[in-house]
Structure 1
Amino acid sequence: MKALYALTLLSTLAGLVTFALCDTYEEMEKFHKACIAESNTTEDEFKKFFDNGMKASDATNNIKCHMKCLMEKQGIFKNGVYNAEAGLKLLLSIPAISGHENEIKQAVNSCKNERGANDCDTAFKISMCIKEFKAQL
C-alpha cells in the first residue's frame, strides 16, 4: 500500500506538492492518514479516484475535502483562501518540473481564483485546474 500511495501521489500535482513539502516518506504518510481521517475518505475511495485518472466528475465530497486537508497541511490553503504565492514557491521547488517556471506561474495565476460551493470544492477546483496545466508540461 505504501508503494501504491507514493506512486499515486507522485503522479499527480497534489502528490508532487506533498512530496516536495515532506522531508520523509513518514511525514507524507502522516499527512495522508490525518487527511483520510479528517475527510472521512476511505482508502478504497481514495485509491479508486486516483486509479480512474482523477476525473473531477468522479470526485466525492470526501475526496474534495481530502484535497483541501492536504493543501492546508502544506500551508497553501487556509480559511477557504488559496495562498498563490506559497503555492507558487512550493511548486517551483519541485525538481521534477524544473525548467517550466513560466508555465507554473501561468497555471497558478490562471487557477488561483477558482471558486467552488464550499472550501472543499474550492481547494479541489484549484488542484484540478493546476493539474490540467501540469498535464501540458
Structure 2
Amino acid sequence: MKYLCVVFVAVTCFVLSWCQSSPKPESALPEPAKKCLAQENVDYQYAIDFHSGKIKLEDVSAAFKCFIHCIVEDGGYMKDGQILEENIVKAAENITSVDQVRKIISNCKIVKGGNACEMSFNTYMCISSELK
C-alpha cells in the first residue's frame, strides 16, 4: 500500500488517509484536499466509499473523477494530461525503487480519457492496478 501513497496518487492517499486502516475525519484534511472536495462538490464520504469498494468503477461520478484530477494537478503529478514522471520519482525515491516507479509510469502513460478528469482518473486506476 505504500506504493499507492507515493506513486502518482501520493497526494490523494495522504489527503484521504487511505494508507491507514480507518480514514481520518474530514476536518483533518490538508487545505488542498478540502479545496478540491469543495471545488468539485464531492462529499468526503463518497471518496471513502470509492476507496473501500462500495462504489463500482462504472458508477464513479464525473465529479469524483475531477476531484482526482484536481488532486494530481495540484500535487504536481500531472499537467495537461501528461504524467510528470520526475516529480513522481522524486516523491518515491526514499520509499521504493526508482526502476519500479518508472516501470509503472511507463505502463500507464498510454492511458487515455475523453477529458482531463477522465484521463487523470484512468491513470489513477491504471497505477492502482499495477500496484496490486
Q: Under a length normalisation based on structure 2, what TM-score does the superposition of the two structures give?
A: 0.72
1:10 Cα shift? 6.9
Aligned residue number for residue 103 of structure 2: 106
Q: Which runs of 5+ in 2 are unaligned?
A: 15-23
Amino acid in the other structure paired with 2:47: F
Q: Could you give the per-residue CA deviations for residues 11-52 of structure 1, whole angstroms, max 9, x where no partner exists?
A: 944796124xxxxx9995212101101111112321211121
Cα separation, partners in 2 of 1:48 and 1:111, compared to 1, 3 Å = same
Task: Give the drift of 1:131.
Answer: 0.9
What does residue 125 of structure 1 align with? 122
Aligned-partner Cα distance in 2 for 1:15–1:76: 6
The one-letter code sitting in structure 1 at the alignment partner of 2:64 is I
2 CA distance for matches of 1:15 and 1:28? 18
Quick one: structure 1 residues 11 and 52, their matched pair in 2 at CA, closer, same or farther if it must change by over 3 Å?
farther
Pairing 1:21-36 to 2, within 5 Å after superposition: 29-36=30-37
Identity percentage of aligned residues = 22
What corresponds to 2:66 in structure 1? 65
Which residue matches 2:10?
17
Q: 2:81 — aligned with what?
A: 80
The residue type equivalent to 1:111 in the other structure is: C
Amino acid of the structure 1 residue aligned with 2:30: E
- Out of 54-63 and 38-47, give the one that drifted further: 54-63
Provide the TM-score with structure 1 as the length reference: 0.70
2:113 pairs with one of 96, 116, 124: 116
Q: Which has the higher helix share?
A: 1
Structure with the larger RCO, 1 or 2 (CA within 8 Å, 6+ apart): 2
Q: Does the C-alpha gap of structure 1 residues 15 and 122 become closer, same or farther in structure 2, counting only changes over 3 Å?
A: closer
